[in-house]
């Protein structure tokens, strides 16, 4: 049986990832969209979530794809209407509102899922399995991309709550928190804020690791030319490098291939929607907030440095 789902927020990520993943899955039937600016051909469209919830009690699940700041009110309304909720990353604009949404969902007896699409990249599970019994010596994240290419016209990303460079950077942190067998925490950070923006265009973070390994990350939205979404890991037993945002993997310099379990579903978002279907069937909740904790701590502990204005 396919669940009827509504997609709220019809922007680039919804069109490129969510709509195709839903269409390709036997678990889902895209029954409605909610957006002031977009729609999907052949799908009933609303410009108000409350109107959709009232008109379509048959829709069981709402997937939220709008920017993080308005997401709380949408999720709260959907939960209050008894609908299961799927949250695009980051799951909210603050940790407190994410905790509140989880409590609401549990009280209402509905499922809620904080998705981290980069955890579903092809080689992340292989990296996690390799690291399980290794002695970590260092881990370094290099996440550098051209914001003008990947986030054109997205002014919300530069406003308070938009995360700035941490909008993609949190993808790296979602992988790190998934593959490391031991928890880490932020000890220091440096945030470069354009003088006309409210969020960082670049950042670096130092972490503490319980075994004393050196763990660092650098994020930059100003990278032209080659783009980097890389995690470099040195262990006592060997070297692992995740490339292409977790889509490719080298161990001791040798390229690895994905196993049969990864091949069962093609792509990060199809796997997210398969996870959501399992949660709904089981009445489960998945609100892992570890990546967002690191971003919040980077802001709390950060040394703020004003840099040249960002001009798109």
Rounded to whole angstroms, the Cα distance separating 23 from 46 reads 19
pTM to 2 decimals? Answer: 0.95
Rounded to whole angstroms, the Cα distance separating 142 from 149 reads 18
- Phi, psi dihedrals of residue 208, rounded to the nearest 5°: -100, 135
- Per-residue pLDDT averaged across 62-88, rounded? 97
Give the dihedral sign, CA 165/166/168/169. positive
Could you tell me the pLDDT band of residue 82, with boundaries at 50, 70 and 90? very high
Give, rounded to a whole angstrom, the gap between the first and last alpha carbons of the chain.
Answer: 46
- In angstroms, what is the C-alpha Rg of the chain? 20
Rounded to whole angstroms, the Cα distance separating 146 from 220 reads 8
Residue closest to 294 by CA, chosen among 160, 233, 204, 181: 204
DSSP 124-179: HHHHHHHHTT--EEEEEEEEE-BHHHHSTT-GGGGSTTS-TTHHHHHHHHHHHHHH
pLDDT at 1: 80
Say yes or no to pLDDT of 153 above 60.
yes
CA atoms lying within 13 Å on the CB side of residue 240: 29
Known active-site residue 89 = yes
* pLDDT tens-digit series, residues 177-187: 999 999 999 99
Domains, the chain, ordered by start:
3-114 (3.40.50.720), 121-262+295-307 (3.30.360.10)
Task: Give me the chain's average pLDDT, please.
Answer: 95
Residue closest to 38 by CA, chosen among 59, 9, 16, 65: 9
Estimate to the nearest angstrom the gap between the alpha carbon of 72 and the chain centroid.
Answer: 16
User: Which residue in the list 4, 76, 89, 134 is annotated as catalytic?
Assistant: 89
């Amino acid at each position: 049986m396919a669940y009827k789902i509504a997609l709220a927020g019809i922007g680039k990520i919804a069109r490129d990832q969510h709509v195709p993943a839903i269409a390709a899955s036997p678990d889902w039937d895209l029954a409605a969209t909610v957006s002031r600016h977009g729609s999907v051909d052949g799908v009933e469209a609303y410009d108000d979530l409350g109107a959709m919830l009232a008109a379509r009690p048959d829709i069981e699940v709402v997937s939220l794809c709008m920017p993080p700041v308005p997401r709380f009110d949408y999720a709260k309304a959907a939960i209050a209407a008894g609908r299961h909720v799927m949250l695009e990353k980051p799951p909210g604009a603050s940790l407190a509102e994410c905790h509140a949404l989880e409590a609401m969902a549990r009280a209402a007896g509905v499922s809620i899922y904080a998705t981290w699409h980069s955890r579903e990249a092809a080689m992340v599970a292989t990296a996690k399995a390799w690291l399980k019994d290794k002695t970590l010596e260092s881990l370094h994240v290099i996440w550098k991309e051209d914001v003008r290419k990947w986030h054109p016209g997205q002014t919300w990303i530069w406003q308070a709550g938009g995360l700035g460079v941490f909008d993609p950077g949190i993808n790296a942190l979602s992988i790190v928190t998934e593959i490391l067998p031991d928890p880490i925490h932020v000890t220091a950070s440096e945030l470069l804020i354009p003088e006309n923006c409210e969020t960082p265009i670049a950042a670096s973070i130092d972490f503490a690791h319980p075994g004393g390994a050196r763990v660092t990350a650098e994020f930059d939205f100003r990278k032209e030319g080659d783009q980097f979404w890389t995690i470099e890991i040195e262990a006592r037993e060997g070297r692992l490098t995740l490339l292409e945002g977790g889509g490719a993997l080298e161990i001791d310099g040798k390229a690895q291939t994905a196993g049969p379990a990864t091949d069962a579903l093609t792509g990060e978002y199809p796997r997210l929607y398969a996870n959501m279907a399992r949660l709904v069937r089981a009445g489960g909740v998945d609100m892992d907030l570890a990546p967002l904790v690191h971003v919040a701590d980077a802001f709390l502990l950060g040394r703020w440095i004003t840099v040249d204005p960002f001009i798109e």
